[in-house]
Chains A and B, each alone.
Chain A
Amino acid sequence: DTGVSQNPRHKITKRGQNVTFRCDPISEHNRLYWYRQTLGQGPEFLTYFQNEAQLEKSRLLSDRFSAERPKGSFSTLEIQRTEQGDSAMYLCASSLARLAGAQETQYFGPGTRLLVL
């Protein structure tokens, strides 16, 4: 399977614990996006990377959230001191943007479902 993969698929944690999710994009895709989706809502943008550079962060991304893409390939999203309101599906997408400002199509992974007790 050469699509976007995410691990783990499900995570249950207790409030106050730290969690880390991983996303492996489609090979050679230079852009990687993180979204969050709560029940009954569409996905909401969190942040994105062009290669290893984090180019934009949503105001939804509080200081408890941090994302990295150290070698421009896989990415991790860490949530520190989790709260019950962090319970959601965390989605990763990747795309190939050939030129700055060029049109791109994002392909999504299956998501990581987080439940904070």
Chain B
Amino acid sequence: DAKTTQPPSMDCAEGRAANLPCNHSTISGNEYVYWYRQIHSQGPQYIIHGLKNNETNEMASLIITEDRKSSTLILPHATLRDTAVYYCIVHGSGNTGKLIFGQGTTLQVKP
């Protein structure tokens, strides 16, 4: 079973920031938080990952709480092309490499 909990769906206005939450209260010390997204009929796309510090790249920012029990993926200026299912995944070396996907959050960006 997935070790994360995400809301099933969210809406966001185009041009505004999209903040996608994820709960992972049972995360272990050596497990990272990964985010992928999947646009309809395509393979999952890697977005970002982090261990305990906040991370930022060209796609998004990842904010991890100090206790590491939750995180938020931030898309700073959402566009219509960001409409997708977003998966938050806890992943560490103890998982023998495989990713365990949950249901994810369907983000709908609206004009």
Contacts and interface: CB of A to CB of B under 8 A. Distances in A.
Contact of A111 (B43, B87, B93, B101): B43
Interface stretch (A14-22, A61-69, A78-86, A96-104): A96-104
A111 B39 CA distance: 12
A33 B98 contact: yes
Interface string B48-88: 01000000000000000000000000000000000001010
B44 interface: yes
Contacts, number: 63
A97 B93 CA distance: 10
A44 B98 CA distance: 9
B97 interface: yes
Nearest to A100: B93
A43 B97 contact: no
A50 to B, nearest CB: 8
Contact of A103 (B92, B99, B101): B92
B102 A42 contact: yes
Could you say which interface size class chain B belongs to?
Answer: 20 to 34
B93 A103 contact: yes
A3 B111 CA distance: 31
A110 B97 contact: no
Could you say which interface size class chain A belongs to?
Answer: 20 to 34
B99 A91 contact: no
A105 B43 contact: no
Nearest to B45: A108
A42 B104 contact: yes
A101 B94 CA distance: 7
B4 to A, nearest CB: 11
Contacts of A55: 96-97
Interface of A: 4, 31, 33, 35, 41-45, 48, 55-56, 58, 91, 93, 95, 97, 101-111, 113
